[in-house]
Amino acid sequence: MTLSRRHIIQAAAIATTAGPLIRTGRAKAAQSADVVVIGAGLSGLNAAWIMNDAGLDVVVLEGASRIGGRVWTAHDAVNAPDMGASQVGPSYARVLDALDRLGLKLIDEDRAIMPFTYHLDGQLIRAKDWADHPVNKTVGAERKMAPISLGSGLLAKINPMKELDDWLKPEMAPYDVSVAELLRKNGTSPAAEKLAGLTQELWSTSALGMMQEAFRGAYEAKFSGGSNASRPDQQRVETAPVMDKWPKNIVGGTDQLPIRMAAQLKRPVMMNKIVGAIDMDDGGADVTCIDGTKVRAKYVISCVPFSLLRHITITPEPDALHRSAIGDMGYAETTRAFATIKEPFWQQDGLDPSLFTDTALRMLWMLDNHTGAPNAPTKGPFRAMFVMTWRTAENVAALSPEQASKFLVDELARIRPASKGLVTINRFHSWGRQPLQRGCRHIFKPGQVTAFATDMIKPHARLHFAGEHTRRLEQGMESAMESGERAAIEVLSRA
């Protein structure tokens, strides 16, 4: 159950009534604080907000020139797409509570993906024809599974989880192997394995890690389509309006949440401060930025991905387990191109609008503009997203945004000539190319859940860890908020 801010503040009362944590002359300097938080994403801001409410002096350092981390709304692009986090789920208790307190409104998500056509082995195949198509070399029940969701569907049949925290239990270790190994052990055909590999890296990804994500997603789905009475944040039932359609989006863009959270802090977030070193001693910690800025504090909370933390010098050096987690945890690339379709070209070729292919284009998600049925005589424009993951994303992201955009439009025209001249890419975005993220999300490699998932979140000396990579029970934006709450409570318990 989520702790309320009132409970957190009461729990910290003993620590804060005695005065500031740092009582030396250094505490009066402009660059001193009780706690330094590295990263102004949702996890860092939630941790800072909680500690501020408990009376601590907190400095937040952000390496970028914007607030939000992987919450990023492209206000300068057509339709202002959310390039990172966007969906608010019905069980996102912490996010929903923050939105209420900040006066932010929700709107029904308008991202209905239209039906898919498959382009596999050089052939265009209607979804309704897939099960009996000659290109379909899968066997048995696999033949009826959609190629685009084959990997997740196969894992769902194997997933043994019953509770949200099952993935961390020792008895789950046999599932902490590669997705490919687990699928083979359970009789998956070579053809099905090949198709599953189009959407995820089968040999470098822990099946257990993927199962945790899938199980949490299924848990979330139980709350979708119901009234607020079915939601787990029961304290909201009396006052929250009934919202029957989930997920939701934030009015004005998802980045309004971290921007408003930052505005609640007693100290403004220090922007463009890339941390280069964390030096800890018996009395506190010095956090030094590459521009020479130094902040002295009693404790530090790192909320940056391990893909970035591994480039920060930490003294004293972390133990072997933390070194392994920080240095070797994988991060998956996701590349997207947000597009406008001038006219519905699928009316010309007679195929379903969206596309899943084994070429480097991979996926085109066509979004319904609600002017008629997918193949009815409707007018544009339509919104669309080209979506690539893993190595396909890395290969396309190696091009410049202009080159990548041209490649995607040209490749679509090659596969579906009717689209020629009707597709405009408004924004191309690669998370792997962002220097302060270096990946869209963390991925446990085979064996890593068992090796360090439980203990990697434990503090190292005066350094605490937060961020969605340290999640326990949650997903998406809620997992970041969860981790920031946990880290804040850890610091408050030590104060």
pLDDT at 492 over 70: yes
Task: Tell me if 115 is assigned to some domain.
Answer: no
169-204 tens-digit pLDDT: 999 999 999 999 999 999 999 999 999 999 999 999
Task: Tell me if 279 is assigned to some domain.
Answer: yes
pTM above 0.85, yes or no: yes
Task: Tell me if 389 is assigned to some domain.
Answer: yes
306 and 340 belong to one structural domain = no
CATH number at residue 360: 3.90.660.10
326 and 448 belong to one structural domain = yes
Average pLDDT of the segment spanning 394-423: 97
Where in the sequence is the domain holding 164, given as residue range(s)? 145-240
Average pLDDT of the segment spanning 417-432: 97
215 and 301 belong to one structural domain = no
Q: Residue 301's closest CA among 466, 460, 468, 495?
A: 466
Task: Tell me if 63 is assigned to some domain.
Answer: yes
144-159 tens-digit pLDDT: 999 999 999 999 999 9
50 and 198 belong to one structural domain = no
Average pLDDT of the segment spanning 473-479: 95
460 and 317 belong to one structural domain = yes
341 and 422 belong to one structural domain = yes
Q: Provide the pLDDT confidence category of residue 372 given band limits of 50, 70 and 90.
A: confident
Pairing of strands 285-289, 294-297: antiparallel
232 and 151 belong to one structural domain = yes
pLDDT at 493 over 50: yes
- The pLDDT assigned to 373 comes to 65
Domain boundary residue, one of 211, 240, 269: 240
466 and 484 belong to one structural domain = yes
Q: Give phi and psi for 60, each to the nearest 5.
A: -110, 125
Domain boundary residue, one of 208, 240, 272: 240
- The pLDDT assigned to 25 comes to 36
CATH number at residue 11: 3.50.50.60
314 and 277 belong to one structural domain = yes
263 and 219 belong to one structural domain = no
- The pLDDT assigned to 225 comes to 53
Q: Residue 386's closest CA among 348, 347, 417, 413?
A: 413
Domain boundary residue, one of 387, 408, 430: 430
Task: Tell me if 421 is assigned to some domain.
Answer: yes
Q: Token digits for 460? A: 């190292």
213 and 167 belong to one structural domain = yes
- The pLDDT assigned to 230 comes to 31
Q: Give phi and psi for 46, each to the nearest 5.
A: -65, -40
Task: Tell me if 109 is assigned to some domain.
Answer: no
Q: Provide the pLDDT confidence category of residue 371 given band limits of 50, 70 and 90.
A: confident
258 and 227 belong to one structural domain = no
Domain count, the chain: 3
Q: Provide the pLDDT confidence category of residue 245 given band limits of 50, 70 and 90.
A: confident
Task: Tell me if 184 is assigned to some domain.
Answer: yes
12-62 tens-digit pLDDT: 443 333 333 333 333 333 489 999 999 999 999 999 999 999 999 999 999
Task: Tell me if 97 is assigned to some domain.
Answer: no
